[in-house]
Amino acid sequence: MSTSTCPAILIAAPASGQGKTTVVCALARLHARQGRRVRVFKCGPDFLDPYWLALASGAPVHQLDLWMTGEADCAQRLHDAAQDADLIIVEGVMGLFDGQPSAADLAQRFGLKVVAVIDASAMAGTFGALAWGLQHYREGLRFAGVLANRVASPGHAVMLEDGLRDPAQWLGALMRNEALTLPERHLGLVMDHELDDAMQRLDVAADALADTPLGQMNSHDLQAWAVDFQGSDSVTRDFPSAALQGRTIAVARDAAFCFLYAANLDCLQAMGAELAYFSPLADDSLPDCDALWLPGGYPELHAQTLAANAPMKNSIVTHVQAGKPVWAECGGMMALFDEIIDTNGVSHPVWGVLPGSVTMQKRLAALGPQQLDMPGGTLRGHTFHYSTCATSLPAASRTQAAPGRSLRGEGEALYVSGSKGSVKASYFHAWFVSSPAAAARLFLKEEHD
């Protein structure tokens, strides 16, 4: 079992919305600008933060989750990154101790120190109590310090720093500044490529962080964060390499279909697939392909454009009628129904491959880690959506809660339709690496089973 050493830090917060993604992006951008090789990981399932984290670091961003991706997979990815990187940054999920498993669980498993980002905009002395609680709530958690975010003034920063029991824990303050806020909407952050000034926003954040003790750490200082990462003997990168050999999978990728794990793409290619990317919004037909993957995204924001692109709709219908496989996740499934009804009650016709309608909700309809039993194995993943669907199709099967978790009502339905059951669709987002054999079967005709 080999070992590789690299400075590594987990940036967490007491809750969502504290600004930790902005801080991670600022730290990654700051060190990348200084010529260091930075690798960033996202704790837990997340499709949107990685767009910004990848832009800031200049490197691919993968997920780390002790259940969904698995402890061995996490260990191997960190080990591999440590062989080439000068700094590894892991962004936590929700609050430091939220979730099963939590960001704190990940930090303790791999010996990562924790930097806590706290929105201090409405507090003074309580800042110190909150920092103390995060540091000492769990025995054995390594703590690197605390950064105050959205601070009103230099005088406010002095009050916050004075409230800490251990002055050495102070890593500085970021002043309240709308320019340091990454824009959001339902499901998460607006993607970086939708903004003309994405990199400028990151540079502004990096410049602000450069004035703090956290941002002034040099290569020597970073060694205080050094971690020895061991590769995992139990993880294998030997995917069934011939499973998708010679097959081309068309992958939708644009503003409407953008929820793609980099590791899922790597997994398909490791099994021999050739990936052909296309835009359902802009292109008039599918690329020449054997199978189609429609990932999640925001079809509800682009329903009119999708409906107006009749040539693309016809190309997808022809693909389905030919009995070629389709795997549609969440937003990809939504676009396959007859209509999407927005929050104002307005109906937008879409592709009509699956019977029924999707209705957008103003509140979250489902959230949480789940797993789906499939031929070839069990796929781990999660669900996260603001819509519900009504269809005459029966559920071929349903997801189950992650071990130790419970579901509110039934699990997500897996719908099977099309010629010879070639279309498989669900709100469930799959992590292909959890069962490459099962993932491969999503893109194979039934006669290959």
Q: Give the residue numbers marked as catalytic.
A: 330
**CA-wise closest residue to 47 among 441, 431, 305:** 431
12 in Cβ contact with 117 (< 8 Å): yes
**Alpha-carbon separation of residue 149 from 16, 192, 221 (angstroms):** 13, 22, 22
For 1-67, the DSSP string reads: --EEEEEEEEEE-SSTTSSHHHHHHHHHHHHHHTT--EEEEEESS-SSHHHHHHHHHTS--EEE-II
64 in Cβ contact with 90 (< 8 Å): yes
Phi, psi (deg, nearest 5) at residue 376: 100, -15
Q: How far apart are CA 356 and CA 341, in angstroms?
A: 11
Residue 32 in tokens: 């990348």
Query: What 3-state DSSP class applies to 78?
Result: helix
The partner residues of 22 in beta bridges, in order of sequence, read none
**CA-wise closest residue to 9 among 120, 106, 151, 119:** 106
**CA-wise closest residue to 217 among 136, 147, 127, 134:** 147
Query: What 3-state DSSP class applies to 382?
Result: strand
350 in Cβ contact with 306 (< 8 Å): yes
128 in Cβ contact with 80 (< 8 Å): no
How many CB atoms are located within 10 Å of the residue 167 CB? 8
